[in-house]
Structure 1
Amino acid sequence: MFNAFERKVAARYLRARRGERFVSVIAIFSLVGIALGVATLIIVMSVMNGFRQELLSQILGLNGDIGVYSAGAPLTGYDDISAKIRTIPGVTAAFPVVQGEVLFSGPQGGTAGGIARGITPDGLAALPTVAKHIIAGSLSDLTGDGTIAIGGGLANQFGITVGQSITLIMPQGKATIIGTIPSIQSFRVVAIFQTGMQQYDSSFVFLPLGAAQTLFQHPGAATQIQVFVQDPDHDSAIKQAIVNALPNLPLNIQDWRQNNDSFLAAVTVEGNVMFLILTLIIIVAAFNVISSLIMMVKDKARDIAILRTMGATSGGIMRIFLMCGASVGILGTLIGFGIGVVFCAYIEQIKEFVSKITGTPLFDPTVYYLESLPAKLDGHQVTEVILMSFALSILATIYPSWRAARIDPIEALRSE
């Protein structure tokens, strides 16, 4: 498509000579703008992908993929129901849970709200988010009615270590002859976990199932059955299989999308908006390519006229300037791609370095729920960004190149 003569002329025009520095500076700014736009878009989209994946893995690792609830009352006969659900193909675990809201009170005073969850030993072992992140104590000691496992954030908040006690206060309380009084019970901490998600580490505790049934006044019943499946993205068939396996029970079955629909919608909308906003950086850089090429065409009008008189075709002139503009866009895109990939690979180290230099945390876990800055490169998204940048860069060169091809050599030389 481009012959050797056209490539040589385009390469000569891209090299700035004395008196042509200004045009070259604009071209450099265009290249830098495209590179920064592509790199920023790749980095931001990768961080958002990592943020979404990390949050979902934490949420699903603690809450299960499907929740089975009884319509209007706690579930009784939960052992038989769990056993039937476990026989469904694709189900990896199913266990009963008793869960409710409580107030925590530490030995030194102070209170905080959170969630207390009663669970069986097998069920707790099926939660890798908790079972594989024990930083003190042991889950094997979580037996009896007076033991509890708490998150690291909650332990730090109250200054609690393994062996000390934490008090749980039930806001709904117990009905007595003098009225309703809060239900208060102390538990001995036998394990402390650190999931890496601040919201869970500072507000979740785990109790033996029997202790939670007593605490929440649900004897012989569970509030839900948590179900884990092999493929959470294709769990519709399993939901229907649960309904078919338990036809006579009034059940309410919800998957992880329904339980986290507001979060998923917010992340999706935010990702789309950020993509559109950051695309404007590349579009602005493409306009810089247009301006630099137009100035180059005006500066090279005499050269174009001479080339035309020597036999160069208008198509050849157009291809020369297409190569000039496209080279800036393609090189800027490739540089931006390299910067984006390297930044994502070392994003945690870069975050720590900047935090150390500035002396301020850049990623507060109390605000963003995660203790590290995740980044996940999506090959499909990266390809879209690169192709979009290539397309914008090439489109930006069409008009200036067309103007160069339409220059009348006679008029151009006459003005000289």
Structure 2
Amino acid sequence: MTDAASAEDVKVQGKGKSLPFGAFEWLLAMRYLRARRREGFISVIAGFSFVGILLGVATLIIVMSVMNGFRTELLGRILGLNGHMFVRGVTSFVPDYDYLSETIEKIPGVVSATPIVEGQAMASSRSNALGALVRGIHEKDLRRLKVVSDHLLMGTLDGFDGGEGVAIGSRLARSLGLTLGDNITLLSPRGAITPFGTAPRVKSYRVAAIFEIGMSEYDSSFVFMPLDEAKQYFRTGDGVTALEVKIKDPDRVNEFVGPVGQKAGSCCDVLTWQQTNQSFFSALQVERNVMFLILTLILIVAALNIVSGLIMLVKDKGRDIAVLRTMGATRGSVMRIFFISGASIGVVGTLAGFALGTIFCLNIETLRVWLSELSGTELFSPEIYFLSHMPAEIDTGEVVSVVGMALFLSFAATLYPAWRAASLDPVEALRYE
């Protein structure tokens, strides 16, 4: 039996009506994909095409999953610590905040409206000094912040409202060399007014709790203080700097701007999390789209390798194609043989890439730690990427799109070489044999 199969098989194929992609066509297609000594170069090209499709699909799945994980983690941490909306005074602090908070919370869809006092201060210890964001808040509201109350490394929030203790981030505590029970000194420019100008306000507080949110920017700068103490420290009088409003669905925050604004009145402005973080999340979205376009080029290059490999295979098998045609094989049968040869590379490569990408995403943090220990370098710096671990979130819709695109490119790449094989003239191919 030759590469063109037995004469009996071909005659049977030519006489009856055969199903698309029959056993005869699969037999020849798989035989053409197996390497022989004189066809080794063609097999090498097929191998590179397979590896290209595999790496392209796997890389796209991994990168898109990591980008999704980044957005989800950052959004969860940012919105978990900060409100979805902020009600701030236009010219001064927000007065009568208790009544306003209860009024806003009655709006359907609003979860909470938390009064806060917020200001910048210099946090110092005996060994160091750093800038900090001080936020005054009630104990009950701080306990509702699960990203803080559920991630206490030391201390407790019991009696937070009654004492002069503060809760600070783990990185801030580490940078200042502080531990539980130590004193942290806060310096604010909002001090007493004297004939010589405004004197900075300096006061020491006991470290009552140390928390770790997992986002380095927050862990290295946030200091939580009892609300009444913060009002005295920042001299806000009977008002607060803002009300933090949280709703059930953060993506629908714009629908609540009108109702909340009506309750707050003309003396207050309403800002949403999308406005305050617009540039940050827009940059993430642009980066995600650009990475998708760049990595798609890997799949296109792999598809072109399939084209070149099949064209060479068609040229090398010209004599076999001619023999098949003279023995009764139809143009459609020849076209299907070479379509199967090329598409098999794409399908197997896509499935292998899907498996590799999924396994990588499910174990990405373990692999990161292993690679960091192996190379002796820090592959994912929390100071640069804001998060303490590498996130990955697999989106089913995106994975289906990547797999579908890879299969489409693989099938499209086989059409022209398969058409050339089917269009080969048997007389011309056998003239000089």
* Band the TM-score falls in, shorter-chain normalisation: over 0.9
Q: Structure 2: how far apart are the matches of 1:186 and 1:144?
A: 16
In the alignment, structure 1 segments of 5+ residues that lack a partner are none
Query: CA-to-partner distance for each residue in 1:239-286, whole Å, 9 max, x for gaps?
Result: 32223334x443211121111101110010000000000000111111
Tell me whether 1:347 sits opposite 2:334 in the alignment: no
- Aligned pair 1:378/2:401, yes or no? no
Q: How does 1:301-340 map to 2 (within 5 A)?
A: 301-340=318-357
Question: After alignment, is 249-258 or 91-100 more displaced?
Answer: 249-258
Tell me whether 1:140 sits opposite 2:158 in the alignment: yes
Residue 25 of structure 1 is matched in structure 2 by 44
Match for residue 429 of structure 2 among 396, 408, 412: 412
Correspondence 1:90 to 2:100: no
In the alignment, the residues of structure 2 paired with residue 106 and residue 30 of structure 1 have an alpha-carbon distance, to the nearest angstrom, of 61
Amino acid at match of 1:362: L
- The alignment's C-alpha RMSD in Å is 1.3
Is the 1:144–1:211 contact (alpha carbons within 8 Å) kept by the matching residues of 2? no
What is the CA–CA distance in structure 2 between the aligned matches of 1:211 and 1:19, rounded to whole Å? 85
Partner of 1:128: 146
Residue 186 (structure 2) aligns with? 168
**Aligned 8 A contact 2:190 2:234 in 1:** no
Output one character per residue of 1:132-166: Cα deviation in whole Å (capped at 9) or x when no partner: 10110001142346221100000110110111011
What count of residue pairs does the alignment treat as equivalent?
414
CA shift for structure 1 position 400:
1.0
The SS at the match of 2:200 is: strand
TM-score, normalization by structure 2: 0.93
Task: Quote the sequence identity (%).
Answer: 50
Displacement of 1:173: 4.0
Contact 1:94–1:123 at 8 Å: present in 2 too? Answer: no
Q: Which residue of 2 aligns with 1:46?
A: 65
| Match among 55, 75, 87 for residue 68 of structure 1 | 87
The answer to whether the 8 A contact 2:100-2:263 is kept is: no
Amino acid at match of 2:38: G
Q: Which amino acid aligns with 1:211?
A: E
Which residue type is aligned with residue 114 of structure 1? A
Preserved CA contact (<8 Å) 1:50 1:375: yes
- Secondary structure, aligned partner of 2:380: coil
* Counterpart pick for 1:279 among 278, 287, 296: 296
- Bigger CA drift: 148-157 or 173-182? 173-182
Tell me, in whole angstroms, the C-alpha distance in 1 between the residues paired with 2:305 and 2:28. 22
Asked which structure has the greater CA Rg, the reply is 2
User: 2:308: which partner in 1?
Assistant: 291
Give the TM-score taking structure 1 as reference length: 0.97
Amino acid at match of 1:354: L
Within the candidate set 44, 56, 69, 1:37 is matched to 56
Q: Does 1:212 align with 2:230?
A: yes
1:172 Cα deviation from its structure 2 partner: 4.6
Q: Is the 8 A contact 1:325 1:393 kept in 2?
A: yes
2:207 aligns with: 189
CA contact (8 A) 1:151 1:194 kept: yes
